[in-house]
A = this chain, B = another copy of it.
Amino acid sequence: MQIIETIAELRARIADWRRENPDGTVGFVPTMGYLHEGHASLIRRSAVENGLTIVSVFVNPLQFGPNEDFERYPRDPGRDRQVSEAAGADLLFMPSVAEMYPRPTATRVMIADLTDRLCGASRPGHFDGVGTVVSKLFHIVMPDKAYFGLKDAQQVAVIERMVEDLNFPVRIVPCETVREPDGLALSSRNVYLNAEERRQAVVLYETLKMAEEKFFEPGMTPGELKAAMHAHLKRAPLAETDYAEVLTWPHLESPADIPFVQMPPGSRFIAALAVKFGRTRLIDNRLLATGPAPAGKE
C-alpha cells in the first residue's frame, strides 16, 4: 500500500493504474480517519469489487461548526495505515488541510431539502461541508464506486441526491453499520465515552431494536413510534436526546401519522437517533419497510 499526501501524486498514480488496467474499476472509501472495523468493512468490500481501492483520511474542517470537535476529533495516522493496509487498500490518501484548501473555498455544494432536519438541524452548514469535500474528493479520485457506511444514513441520502442532481459519474454503495457485541454502532467518537457512558450508550441500539419490533405492531403510527423512542432513551440517565425521529427513506420527509399497516407495502422509513453523553454526540438508525415481515429489514 502506498501512502500519498498530494493531489498531484494521487492523480498520477490513479492515471498510471487506469492506463495499465483500461477495464478495471476504482473503488473509493472517503473517511475522516481513526479507522475502525466499520471502515475496514467498507475497504474490504471495495477491494473485492474493484481492481484499485483508494482510502482517504481527511478531517474536513468545513463540515465542523465553530463549537464542534474539529480540533479534538480523534486522529491516529499510524493505526489508519495499519487498518487500511490490512483491509486491502492500495492507496492511502492523507492530505493536509493546506493541500485540500490552499485558500478558503469560495465554492460550496449545497444540498437543500434533505439537510434541514436530523443532523442537519443540529449541525447547520454540516452537510454543505460534506457535499463540498466529497465533490472535491470525487473530482480528485474519479472513482467508479464510492463506499459509505449507513450509520451516517442521512449523509448517504444527501450524497446520493447530490450525485443524482449533479450527474456525478460514480455509483454510491451504502454499506451496513458494523456494531460492537452489545449492539453499539462503531464510531470514531466512541473513544470519547467514559466507562459508564459506554455502558449506557447501548440505549441507542436497544431503542432502535424496540422501534423495529413496535413498527410491526397493529395500529402503530409514526407519531407513536417516535414517542416510544423518546421514552425508551430515558432509560439511560446520562443520555440527552438531540433527536429521535421517524422519517421517510430516502426523502427524509415527515410521514402522515396513520398506522404503518395502512401505508402501501414497501413504504420505507428511517428511525434515527442522535444522543449526547456529556460532550459526545452519538448517532444511529434503522431502516424499516412496510410489507411482509421478512422485507421489514433493510
Contacts and interface: CB of A to CB of B under 8 A. Distances in A.
A160 to B, nearest CB: 11
Interface stretch (A164-172, A185-193, A279-287): A164-172
Given A136-B166, A142-B169, A166-B135, A114 B110 contact: no
Contacts of A165: 105-107, 136
Interface in A163-212: 165-169
A19 B18 CA distance: 11
A238 interface: no
Contacts of A113: 106
Given A136-B167, A139-B166, A107 B106 contact: no
A294 interface: no
B109 A114 contact: no
Interface residues of A, number: 28
A77 to B, nearest CB: 22
Contacts of A110: 107-110
Contacts of A161: 106-107
A162 interface: yes
A218 interface: no
Contacts of A109: 107-110, 166
Interface of A: 7, 11, 19, 22, 105-114, 131-132, 135-136, 139-140, 142, 161-162, 165-169
